[in-house]
A and B are shown apart, each in its own frame.
Chain A
Amino acid sequence: MNKPTIFLTTEFEERIRDIPSPDEMNIPLKGHIPRIERKEKVLQGARIAEHPESYAGDIHASLSGKVKNITPASISIKTDTENLQTEPVDISGIDPGKELISALKSLGVDTNNLVKAKTLIINGFNPEPGISVYDHLLRDHQETLERGLELVRKFISPTSTILAVPGRSTAHLAGCMTFHIKTFYPNSLNRVVVKSVTGFDKPENVAIISIPQLYFIGKIVETGLPLTETIITIGKVNYRVKIGTPIRVILEYAGISVQPGDRVVLGGPFRGNAVYSLDQGVDKDAYGILVVPKDMFSPVTDAPCLNCGECVLKCPSRIMPNIISRMAEFGLFEKTIKYGIESCLECGLCTYFCTARRPVLQYIRLAKDELAAQESNKR
């Protein structure tokens, strides 16, 4: 697998490969409420769950089949070979406004960033080291991206559109100014990109959108079908997978074997989640799968902080993870507020560079959770 690096460009194979449809899929729910019953038959593209928040996109069956099981975490569907699809929806005729927003939401798009703004920034960075999806889409799928951008512009109606790309990249997008940023993680994080482009931490009238969001909106405009697939990087290859495809199926197809004790990460090496079972399905925001062999790194320890200061110097939020993690370690959660814990972007660089191998980000998250719990107890 890939060598640890914070460099954001990765070589990738020429073509996006398709992962064959699995026999059974586990479509993950992230706070979504199931809208189907067990044993119900569903068509490909049928809505199976929706989110209580009005901006979060609905979830659809990515293949036709029969619902096998529903848990709070996922909906399992036994797929059939009929491959029946729902009718496409033509959204090109709908005027931008609430109606179009709800049409997009019902097609699976998260719409929280589609609000009016003067400046639209397109984040053209691969989100994390070892991931090449964004580069690949930007290089090979310009037309779809442009179609997506056209629709997005209707909502945001920006006076300027800026495409933020890595330092030497020649990537471009029609009608966008190109802005170059150094090619190191965490410069790919949305907040850091906004800061680099505008010079402000939290400027007003700025919207930011990612390449996959543009791509999938463009896809929806082209096909009229809901969002049922995602593109993920494994090693040097990008794969197109149906949402809910079990990780086991994907890794088998990619020819990667997993040994007991390995870590399998859904997402990237810095912000991804380690899965507990290979039967877990990929979600729509997934952009990579990473297998970290058991003995690749020494384990994290509760060793004392050396105060070497690497975390402080690498932190994009300009806080002191060394002090905050020590306070969280000893339960002094309120004191972390004074050190700006709320500014943490959770990029993970503090833990990546920690010489003592302390779980710095975990301590920060613990403190954040404890503070949130205290806050909700007060109310």
Chain B
Amino acid sequence: MASQIKKPFISEPVLTVSTAPHWHCGRSVSGLMMETIIALSPAVLMAIMHFGLEAARVVALSCVVAVVTEAICLKITGRDVSIDDYSSLLTGLLFAFLLPASAPWWLVIVGISLSIILGRILFGGPGASPLCAPLVAWAVCKISWKYFMDIDLSILNTEYLYPLSQLKLYGSEAASGFNYLDLFLGKQLGGLGAVQVSGVLLGGIYLIVRKHIRPHIPLAFLAGVFITASIYFFIDDTRYANPFFHLLTGSVIFGAFFLATDSASSPVGHIPMIFFGLIGGIFVIIIRVYSVYPDGVPFAILLANLLTPILDKIRPKPFKTK
């Protein structure tokens, strides 16, 4: 019955049409998130090595609750349930990295749920949140449940010390007692993943080599920490700790490579990125020196996040076409 088949309106073969460009570099959101998770995996292993199954418990719980919360929230708000892009999994992992290994289960659940809801969903998902999502929840937990977020409570479970609270309580004398190599290898207390300095540094370098993050923010952040700490150290080295001590403790390295570079809440230009990093780094030391919080990194990055819209105003003039 071939004669009855109508000649198609469009000629064969039917082609796809689209606007230019017709090529793509091949990057995807899920790829970016997955590679960031891969970059964090050495630190996860080191955390389990140092803190045992306690660390694994916090990480696993945080990741699972992150994905489930995101799925439920997206369902309620009627958006596409895009949890398969691993971005909520990454938020869960980043949040777990900031918690002490001794964090109780309810704190992990409340914290990561807040991180997803306050940090991501309320502002319209990835790319729209003005603050780094894991840090929002960290700040809420730190202020609300000071006792449970206290890093020093992990002391009972391990042989390590929390160098930053040692510095806060006993001064630079105590700080000089730490071996830098031990600190670098993660033999210290702090956020369970954040203090795995060598693992985190390895992951950060991997991300830069794979061009998932630009080196501007991490390097400027570290420079900000180092320069400010050096200034204090030179003013009075009996009162203030060595700048290398500051670089190797708390979440400095983790913050520089993984939190400050959060794409939604950091600026996009070359110069704004450098300023953003420097300001974050300077805040870290100022908070460590003057405030009651031993580790200044989360608050420093949150403060720098607030400056992002202003920093983004530093722009070159657009191409003159008229």
Residues of B within 8 A of A129 (CB): 23
Contact B21 A355 (CB under 8 A): no
Residues of A within 8 A of B270 (CB): 313
The stretch of B25-33, B165-173, B227-235, B251-259 that contacts the partner chain: B25-33
Among the listed B26, B125, B263, B319, which residue makes an inter-chain contact with A191, where contact means beta carbons less than 8 Å apart?
Answer: B319
Contact A355 B29 (CB under 8 A): yes
Contact A263 B18 (CB under 8 A): yes
Contact A274 B18 (CB under 8 A): yes
A297 and B11 contact, Cβ closer than 8 Å, known pairs A261-B16, A272-B20, A306-B127:
no
Is B124 an interface residue, CB under 8 A from the partner? Answer: yes
Is B155 an interface residue, CB under 8 A from the partner? Answer: no
Shortest Cβ distance from A195 into B: residue:
B319
Taking chain B's interface residues, is the majority helix, strand, or loop, or is none over half, making it mixed? loop
Shortest Cβ distance from B32 into A: residue:
A355
Contact B15 A277 (CB under 8 A): yes
Contact B17 A276 (CB under 8 A): yes
Contact A277 B11 (CB under 8 A): yes
CB distance from A138 to the nearest CB of B (A): 24
Chain A, 50-107, CB within 8 A of any chain B CB = none
Among the listed B25, B128, B268, B321, which residue makes an inter-chain contact with A313, where contact means beta carbons less than 8 Å apart?
Answer: B268
Residues of A within 8 A of B27 (CB): 353, 355
Is A4 an interface residue, CB under 8 A from the partner? Answer: yes
The stretch of A154-162, A175-183, A221-229, A316-324 that contacts the partner chain: A316-324
Q: How far is the CA of A292 from the CA of B29 in the complex (A)?
A: 22
Interface string of A288-315 (1 = CB under 8 A from B): 0010101001101001111111001100
A357 and B24 contact, Cβ closer than 8 Å, known pairs A274-B15, A274-B17, A307-B263:
yes
Interface size range on A against B: 35 or more
Is A269 an interface residue, CB under 8 A from the partner? Answer: yes
Q: How far is the CA of A320 from the CA of B22 in the complex (A)?
A: 21
Shortest Cβ distance from A257 into B: residue:
B13
Q: Which among B17, B20, B29, B318 has the highest number of chain A CB atoms within 10 Å? A: B20
Q: How far is the CA of A202 from the CA of B125 in the complex (A)?
A: 40
Residues of B within 8 A of A305 (CB): 127
Is A273 an interface residue, CB under 8 A from the partner? Answer: yes
Contact A312 B22 (CB under 8 A): no
Q: How far is the CA of A351 from the CA of B23 in the complex (A)?
A: 9
Is A356 an interface residue, CB under 8 A from the partner? Answer: yes
CB distance from B78 to the nearest CB of A (A): 15
Q: How far is the CA of A259 from the CA of B12 in the complex (A)?
A: 9
Contact A306 B18 (CB under 8 A): no
Among the listed A297, A313, A320, A340, which residue makes an inter-chain contact with B24, where contact means beta carbons less than 8 Å apart?
Answer: A297
List A residues at the B interface (Cβ < 8 Å). Answer: 4, 129, 191, 195, 201-202, 258-265, 267, 269-279, 290, 292, 294, 297-298, 300, 303-309, 312-313, 316-320, 322, 339-340, 342-343, 345-346, 348-349, 351-357, 359, 361-362, 365
Task: Write 29 A-B pairs (CB below 8 A) sorted by A numbering.
Answer: A261-B16, A270-B23, A271-B20, A272-B22, A274-B20, A275-B15, A279-B11, A297-B23, A298-B28, A300-B18, A305-B127, A306-B32, A306-B263, A306-B264, A307-B264, A308-B32, A308-B268, A309-B214, A309-B269, A313-B214, A316-B319, A318-B315, A318-B319, A320-B268, A339-B318, A342-B322, A352-B23, A359-B18, A362-B19
